Amino acid sequence: MTNNILIENQYKRSSLFEKENVNYLVRILKRFNTVPKINNINIITSTSEPTIFRIVPNKSIIIGSSFLDKPILALVYLRYGIEWQLWYKAVNNEKEDATLCDLAALEVTRIFYNLLPKNDKEKLENLDDFLVNLIKSDSDLNTDAILKNKEIQSYHKLDTSNSVFKDSWKPIVENLAKPTEYLLMSGGDMRLNIDEIQLLNKYGCRPFPRPEAYTFASSTASSVSNFAYDKTDKVRSILIKNSLKKGFKKTTIEFSELLKSNLRKIFKLSEESEIIFSPSGTDSALQIAAITQIISDKEITHILVASDETGSGVASALQGCHFETTTALNIPIVKGERIKGFRDVDLIKIPFRDAKGALKTSAQVDEEVYNAVAKTNAQGRHVVLHTIDQSKLGYQSPTDDLITKLNAIEDLSIQIVVDGSQLRLDPKDIQNYLNKGYIVTITGSKFFTGPPYSGALLLPKSVNKVVQSIQNNVPEGLTQYYNHSDWPTSWFCANKLSEGFNYGSYMRWNAAIVEMTRYHKTPILYRNMGIEMFCNFIDDSIKDAIFLEPIYGDETRAKSYNSKEFGIRNIRTIFPFFILNNKGALPVEKVKKLYTLLNSDLSKQFEDSSIEIIRLAAQKCHIGQAVNVIYTNDLESAVLRISLGARVISESWVNRDISLFFRNIELQMTQITTTIKKIELILSNSELLD
C-alpha cells in the first residue's frame, strides 16, 4: 500500500492545476462538501493502479490517480462510494444485504448527477464509463439486474447474486435513497426546482450551502447554511439506520413527532396546542380554509389584511382553489380551478396601499377592517380575519386597539388568524396569540433562514378541541395535497387523506429547527444588542446612498408590551427601498434584472477594470426579491429588501466570545456595504440593465 495516499494528502503538479483550472477545482471541492461525512472511512488514491475504483466495506474507498485528472468523474465515483459505505454501516455490516447498498448508492448517485450543473455534465458526455452510463440511463434502476451485475459487485468484492431484495426496504429506498440537497427541494412545488446553469431556484437560492454569496434575503428565502445542511445530512443517515432497524413507518412518525416536540420547546408551547406542518405558507392558507369549513356551518367570509403583501397564491388557497400547476405531492392540477369538496366562500381583500400606491395609515386600515367585519357579521356569516405580523415589507396590521373594538361587537362569529410567516416573533409573542385563541401561521424559512418551504400552522387549544370533536371530513380534493401523516393523528377529519410521508417538508423543518436552536443559544443581551446594532447600520447605509430611497419612515412600531421591553417584532428588521436613476425610480423589469445581476458573478463584464472593481462585480449578493410598488401616479416600480436573518446573530456567536461576537457582526456590516456598492456599480453601467 506504499503507493496509496489519503486523497487530501495527494497533490501533484500537473496541467490540471494551471491557473484557469484552479477555480474549477475549487468549485468541485465545494460540491464534494455536500457528500455525507462518515467516520473511519478513508478515501485513498492509488498511483500503482491508476484506474482502480474499490470499496473496502466499512474501511475505505480506493480511487485510482487517473480519476483525479477528471474531477467530475472522480466526484461521481466518490459520491457512489461514500453512499454505499453509509448504507453498509446502516445494515450493520451484513454482507448479504450489500445489494441494498448497491441499489441505494446507484439511486442517490443518479440524482446527484442530475443535480450537477450543465457544464459539468458536458464533461462526461462523451465518456464511455460503466457507472456514468448506468446513472445516465433514463429508465428506473432494475433491482434484478443490479443483483446479478458482476461489475457492480466488483467494486466491493461481495457476492450478491443470491441476495433477495426485501419488501421492507422499498419505502426506505423510495424516501431516503436521495441526496440531502434533493430532499430539501422535494415535496413542495415547481418553485423549488433549480435551473441547470446556476443551480438557483425561483428565489435565487440553492438546496445546498452557498457560502460564497452574501445573504440578506431572509424576507424571501435563503440558501441553507453549512451548519444546518450538515446536521440535516447526518439526520438522513440516522433515519436510514433506524428505518432498517425499527421499520420505516415507525421511524418516520417518531421523526415527525420529534420535530414538533422541538418546535414546542423552542416556543414554549403547550401540549394542548397543535402543530400541522405544511409544504409552504400558501399550503397553510389552504389548510385554514379546510379547517374553517369543517368547524363552521355558517357561510364563511375571509377578510385578508395586507392582501398586497401576502403570498401570491394565498387568496386562491383561502377560496379553496388550486394555486399552482402541481401540488406538493407532485400531482398536476389546473391553477385557479376549485378544489373538490370546497364550498363557496367570500373573500374581502384589504391592501396596505391605495390605488395610487400610497401607504395607508394604521387608522385607515383599522377602519376598513372594522367595517368589513361588522358588515359580514350583520349578514350572519362566520368571519375569518387574517391579520399580519409582519408583512414582506415589515408591517403589522391591524392594531391591538382595533381588535379590542371588534370584541365589543355582539354575537360576533370570528376566528382570528395571525400571518406570522416571517416569524420575526419571540416565543412570548407566539404564546400570547395562542392564549387568545388565534391560529398562527409560521415558516422556518424567512427570519430563521431554513430552506424554502417550511410552513406550519400553530393551533390554539380551543380550535384543536373543536376539531377533535367533529366527525366531518376535510374536502376530498385535499388528498392531492397532503398525507394523513401531515395532520394530527387524533383528528377524525383527516382519516381519508393520502398515505405516505413528505420527507422534503420534514427535512426542511429539521434544518430550520437547527437554525432556531442555535439562534436562541445566543445570550439574549448580546442577541438583542447585535440586532439593534446591525439593523441601525442597514438603516443608515440605505439612507446614506443617494441612489436608494427607503419606503419606510421613522414610524413607531406597534407594541403590544411595555415599550421598555425589547422584542424582535418591535424593531424594523426588513428594509425595503426603491432604486433611483436620473428619471426617478427604476421601472419594475429593470429592478428585477438588477436583483438577478446582484446575485450573479459579473466579473467577465469588467475584465478591463481594476482588481477592486472585478472583485466587487464577482461578489454574489442575495437580498429580498422585488415587490411591485407604485412609485408615482405615472410610474410602476418595485422595491428590493435587505433584511436581518437569524444567522447574522448565531454565526457571530459561534466562538462564544463577546468581543468576537461584535467583531463578527461588524464583518457582516461590511457585506452590507459591498452589496450597496455593487448596486451602484450596476447602475453606473446602465447597459447591464438593458
Question: Helix or strand or coil: residue 544?
Answer: helix
| Domain presence at residue 237 | no
Looking at 484, 517, 550, which one is the last position of a domain?
517
Phi-psi region of 247 (alpha: psi -120 to 50; beta: other; left: phi over 0): left
- 442 in a domain, yes or no? yes
Domain range holding 543?
A: 522-689
Q: Could you tell me if residue 365 is inside a domain?
A: yes
Report how many domains make up the chain.
3
pLDDT for the residue numbered 1: 36
- Domain shared by 47 and 126, yes or no: yes
Q: pLDDT at position 29, please?
A: 74
- Using CA atoms, how far residue 486 sits from 290, 455, 479, 510, in Å, is 14, 12, 11, 15
Predicted local confidence at residue 561, as pLDDT = 39
Q: Are 481 and 597 in a shared domain?
A: no
Sign of CA dihedral 181, 184, 185, 186: positive
Binning pLDDT at 50, 70 and 90, where does residue 52 land?
Answer: very high
- Residue 422 belongs to a domain: yes
Percent of the chain with pLDDT over 90: 75
Q: What is the pLDDT of residue 19?
A: 55
| pLDDT tens-digit series, residues 316-348 | 999 999 999 999 888 999 999 999 999 999 999
| Average of per-residue pLDDT values in the chain | 91
Question: Is residue 231 a part of any domain in this protein?
Answer: no
Region 601-605: mean pLDDT is 96
239 part of a folded domain: no
In whole angstroms, give the CA distance from residue 452 to residue 224: 9
Please state, in angstroms and rounded to a whole number, the distance separating the CA atoms of residues 565 and 181: 40
Asked if 6 and 153 sit in the same domain, the reply is: yes
Query: Which residue reads 396590521 in cell numbers?
Result: 397
Q: pLDDT tens digits for 269-317? A: 999 999 999 988 899 999 999 999 999 999 999 999 999 988 889 999 9
**The pLDDT of residue 551 is above 50:** yes
Q: Both 475 and 599 in a single domain?
A: no
E-only strand ranges, 116-169: none
Q: Kindly report the pTM of this predicted structure.
A: 0.93
Q: Which of 79-93, 236-250, 564-578, 616-630 has the lowest mean pLDDT?
A: 564-578
Q: Say what the pLDDT of residue 2 is.
A: 40
In a domain, 206, yes or no: no
List CB contacts of 100: < 8 A, sequence separation 6 or more. 87, 91, 165, 166, 169, 173
- Across the range 445-453, mean pLDDT stands at 95
Regarding predicted confidence, which is higher, 472 or 319? 319
> Does 608 have pLDDT greater than 60?
yes
Would you say residue 94 has pLDDT above 70?
A: yes
Has residue 8 got a pLDDT over 70?
no
CB 128 within 8 A of CB 136: no
Query: Helix, strand or coil for residue 438?
Result: coil
Q: How confident is the model at residue 174 (pLDDT cuts 50, 70, 90)?
A: very high
Band of residue 162 on the pLDDT scale cut at 50, 70, 90:
confident
Whether 71 and 26 share a structural domain? yes
DSSP annotation of 499: P
Task: Categorize the per-residue pLDDT at 141 as very low, low, confident or very high, splitting at 50, 70 and 90.
Answer: low
Closest CA to 110 of 76, 156, 67, 60: 76
